Amino acid sequence: MEAGPASNLRGGEVVVPCTDLDAALEALGSLGFRLESIFPADEPAVAVIAGHGVRLRLERDAAVPAPVVRLACREPAAVAGGARELTLPGGARIELVGEGAGFELPPLAPSYAVSRAAGDGGWRAGRAGMQYRDLIPDRQGGRFIASHIRVPAGGPVADYVHYHAIRFQLIYCHRGWVRVVYEDQGEPFLLEPGDCVLQPPQIRHRVLECSPGLEVIELGSPARHETRAEHELTLPTAASAPGCERVYGGQRFVRHRAAAARWEPAAHAGWLARDLGIAAATAGLVDARVLRPAGAGARLAGIAAGELCWGCVLRGAATLDGEHQLGEADSFTVPAGRAFELAGASAELEWLLVTVP
Ligand SMILES: [Fe+2]
């Protein structure tokens, strides 16, 4: 297109035939549309109303077909009394549609993998001063991603309010601290070593600052997902309520505090477990716990099952399958149907076990 005509264009509108302007304006107003103009004053025949990136020109005498206008909503059931659809006088339809999960789940490609911390090799520079190391190098076909993330310098983090189109995502603080804030979850708070959050799908959040030497472990699905900026919302939200039971995409937000957590006998004899609360918050989609030996000679032998069986040593040492000596930040993935054994646990061993049944 030539520059001249294009630079002359000044926005667009959709012409909507409308037999009752008052009723249509009230209905659209309830959806957050705002009146821009109306005329003539003594007997209105045209009203322009705009909202959500759409401008509608309601015309009493327009001889045009009635359009369908689709509005994307986070939770369609919470809009217009759950009606999902609204018909304006004159036949135009307003459809309320969910913005959808927004991700594609690639086929699972299960494999046995051991990932080693191995000094400073394997780190790559990410955004905002963060360094990344893959803890599931082949990503099991793209179904999962686990990252060891560190921020050597610390300080304010150049983040903005955003959200992720994901199936699930959890963040475990390994060293240092990071200050974060989540939609409807109260004031900003610190994640400290041993603390964990479950970030449910699409929850708005922002990372504010961190200590030098911050290290977190992040695990999510799928490996490739969209991060979307949120321009409409500032955090913390006014209606903040810590511990809020709000459900996001079928999951509740979890803030697990290590300092307040209890170690209890694990399902595996000889081990103690600190349940991170993820299974309860995801209706069993993901289970995550930290394990430590209850005494000398702790050994965990089992057969992996389900989509994911992933472990990561947090401190101490152990031996996987009699041949892999694992230390801090070493991790492993075992495909379903394969037997595995973790033995040779040092007294101070703690390891994170995440399973997706
Ligand atoms: Fe995020």
* pLDDT tens digit sequence for 38-56: 999 899 999 999 998 899 9
> What does R_g of the chain's alpha carbons equal in angstroms?
26
Mean pLDDT, all residues of the chain: 91
Does 4 or 80 have the greater pLDDT score?
A: 80
How high is the pLDDT of residue 329?
95
Give the rounded percent of residues in the chain with a pLDDT score beyond 70: 95
* pLDDT tens digit sequence for 187-222: 999 999 999 999 999 999 999 999 999 999 999 999
Longest CA pairwise span in the chain (Å): 89
CA of 207 to the centre of ligand 1 (A): 8
What's the average model confidence in pLDDT over 1-17?
76
CA of 87 to the centre of ligand 1 (A): 38
What's the average model confidence in pLDDT over 347-354?
98
Rounded distance between C-alpha atoms, residue 137 and residue 215, angstroms: 18
Q: Cβ of 325: how many Cβ atoms within 10 Å?
A: 12
CA of 217 to the centre of ligand 1 (A): 13
Rounded distance between C-alpha atoms, residue 198 and residue 289, angstroms: 13
Rounded distance between C-alpha atoms, residue 248 and residue 240, angstroms: 15
User: pLDDT band for position 242 (50/70/90)?
Assistant: low
CA of 31 to the centre of ligand 1 (A): 29
CA of 206 to the centre of ligand 1 (A): 7
The answer to whether 132 and 184 have CB atoms below 8 angstroms apart is: no
Rounded distance between C-alpha atoms, residue 278 and residue 251, angstroms: 9
**C-alpha distances out from residue 213 to 25, 119, 210, 278, 352, Å:** 56, 15, 8, 26, 20
Which candidate, 96, 87, 84, places its Cα nearest to that of 17? 87
Q: Cβ of 46: how many Cβ atoms within 10 Å?
A: 17
What's the average model confidence in pLDDT over 157-170?
94
Mean pLDDT comparison of 109-123, 233-247, 277-291, highest-scoring range: 277-291
Rounded distance between C-alpha atoms, residue 223 and residue 221, angstroms: 5
How high is the pLDDT of residue 343?
96
What's the average model confidence in pLDDT over 326-349?
97
How high is the pLDDT of residue 243?
54
Token representation of residue 318: 């152990």
CA of 227 to the centre of ligand 1 (A): 7
- What is the three-class DSSP state of 141? helix
How high is the pLDDT of residue 189?
97
What's 209's DSSP letter? E
Token representation of residue 160: 């903005």
At residue 101's C-alpha, the angle toward residues 70 and 335, to 5°, is 160
CA of 229 to the centre of ligand 1 (A): 10
What's 67's DSSP letter? P
CA of 203 to the centre of ligand 1 (A): 9
CA of 106 to the centre of ligand 1 (A): 21
CA of 147 to the centre of ligand 1 (A): 13
Give the rounded percent of residues in the chain with a pLDDT score beyond 90: 78
How high is the pLDDT of residue 328?
96
Token representation of residue 33: 């549309």
Residues counted in the chain = 357
- What is the three-class DSSP state of 41? coil
* pLDDT tens digit sequence for 290-321: 999 999 989 999 999 999 999 999 999 999 99
Rounded distance between C-alpha atoms, residue 272 and residue 266, angstroms: 5
> Quick check: pTM over 0.85?
no
How high is the pLDDT of residue 1?
45
CA of 162 to the centre of ligand 1 (A): 6
Residue type, 29: G
Cα of 80 vs its chain's centroid, Å: 26
Rounded distance between C-alpha atoms, residue 178 and residue 118, angstroms: 25
CA of 104 to the centre of ligand 1 (A): 18
User: pLDDT band for position 82 (50/70/90)?
Assistant: confident
Starting from the edge strand earliest in sequence, which strands make up the sheet with 254-256, in order? Answer: 124-125, 131-134, 145-151, 214-221, 168-175, 196-198, 254-256
What's the average model confidence in pLDDT over 114-140?
86
Cα of 287 vs its chain's centroid, Å: 16
